[in-house]
Amino acid sequence: MKSYQWSVFLVVIITLDCIPAIVSPNSWYQGCYSVKEISSSLSEWLSGNWNLLDCTQKCFLQGYTLAGMSNSSKCLCTNSTINLSEEQLSACDESCSVGLDFKCGGFSHDQAFVSLYESLGPYITNSSLIVVADHIVINRPVTLDTFAQLGKVYNSTDDETAEPTGIVTFSGV
């Protein structure tokens, strides 16, 4: 009699791309700025095309406190506004891909504008998935416990922010 051991790999992709639909942009948004000069010790432009959530999360993971979006897809990570000049909010008129209420910079008369956000935003910073069973039977339901840690949750009814949430537990069958 042959004995077989099977390994089952389950990949679950957890995303919070829907979060901006329920988040007030004003609670996360820090303002519209023009860039004077970028100091490499305080800031860095990330190469590639970015969306708002990925940009803010990447900046947070690299230790920056602020994330800026320019031209809808350029990402700036910074710890200071010292090399930025605050502009009228209307100068940042480009919408982000995550929602029309979120601004991702602007451009006018050879001047680029950056929409600045806190880098600790409404995205998952850590997650895990645990199978709650001694064994798994094919074509039978299995219980999974999913743990997700959100960077920060924003109040969607006003501009006050909540404290970072810690671990939030979801369970499903």
CA 44 from chain centre, in angstroms, equals 17
From the number of C-beta atoms within 10 Å of its C-beta (0-12, 13-18, 19+), residue 90 rates as exposed
Which residue would you say has higher pLDDT here, 135 or 22?
135
Nearest to 70 by CA among 122, 123, 108, 24: 108
Question: Mean pLDDT lowest for which of 6-20, 28-42, 100-114, 130-144?
Answer: 6-20
Residue 168, pLDDT > 60, answer: no
Nearest to 88 by CA among 71, 108, 68: 108
Q: Contact at 8 Å (CB) between 119 and 67? A: yes
Residue 116, pLDDT > 60, answer: yes
Q: Contact at 8 Å (CB) between 171 and 143? A: yes
pLDDT per position as a tens digit, 2-30:
544 444 445 444 444 444 444 555 568 89
Which residue would you say has higher pLDDT here, 161 or 31?
31
Residue 96, pLDDT > 80, answer: yes
- Mean pLDDT over 119-124 rounds to 74
H-helix or E-strand containing 99? Answer: strand 99-103
Percentage of the chain exceeding pLDDT 70 = 62
Q: Contact at 8 Å (CB) between 68 and 78? A: yes
